């Protein structure tokens, strides 16, 4: 039970350290900005609507209308992907992921070392 509390405390400390890290703070800020951006929300809705239309046109065999809807989807998706907030979001997401992968790999390495040391000690006894 005490060991579980130590682990939980350590995890909370690590979580707080990560939350305070500048890369994570920047990511969270741009994420919030992206979620609140009315143009992005509008584009998302337009893409969803065009996707629904394309499916309906395909269902009813309206090939030209389906092609036009697919073209519209591609145009809207390109606008979305080229939006500065989306590009910045993706950059910050990549940076945050790199940090988290580094932390995860470091923890994994330390745990594996501790297990190996424990196994070696057990086999020596």
Domain ranges of the chain: 21-35+84-125, 38-82
Average pLDDT over residues 73-88: 98
At residue 117 the predicted structure's pLDDT band, cuts being 50, 70 and 90, is confident
* Phi, psi angles (nearest 5°) of residue 7: -65, -45
Calculate the CA 45 to chain-centre distance.
21
At residue 121 the predicted structure's pLDDT band, cuts being 50, 70 and 90, is confident
Average pLDDT over residues 78-97: 97
At residue 49 the predicted structure's pLDDT band, cuts being 50, 70 and 90, is very high
In this prediction, residue 22 carries a pLDDT of 94
For residue 121, how many C-alpha atoms fall within 13 Å in the half-sphere facing its CB? Answer: 6
Average pLDDT over residues 64-89: 97
The closest of 82, 98, 81, 78 to 26, measured between CA atoms, is 98
Burial of 50 (0-12, 13-18, 19+ CB in 10 A): buried
**Taking the model in full, what pTM does it have?**
0.76
In this prediction, residue 125 carries a pLDDT of 63
The mean-pLDDT minimum among 2-6, 20-24, 94-98 falls in 2-6
């Amino acid at each position: 039970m005490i060991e579980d509390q130590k682990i939980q405390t350590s995890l909370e400390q690590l979580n707080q350290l990560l939350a305070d890290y500048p890369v994570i703070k920047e990511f969270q800020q741009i994420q919030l900005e992206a979620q609140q951006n009315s143009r992005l929300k509008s584009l998302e809705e337009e893409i969803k609507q065009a996707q629904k239309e394309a499916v309906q046109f395909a269902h009813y065999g309206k090939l030209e209308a389906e092609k036009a809807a697919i073209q519209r989807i591609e145009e809207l998706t390109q606008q979305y992907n080229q939006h500065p907030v989306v590009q910045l979001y993706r950059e910050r997401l990549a940076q945050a992921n790199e940090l988290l992968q580094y932390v995860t790999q470091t923890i994994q390495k330390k745990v594996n070392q501790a297990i190996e040391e424990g196994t070696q000690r057990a086999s020596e006894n």
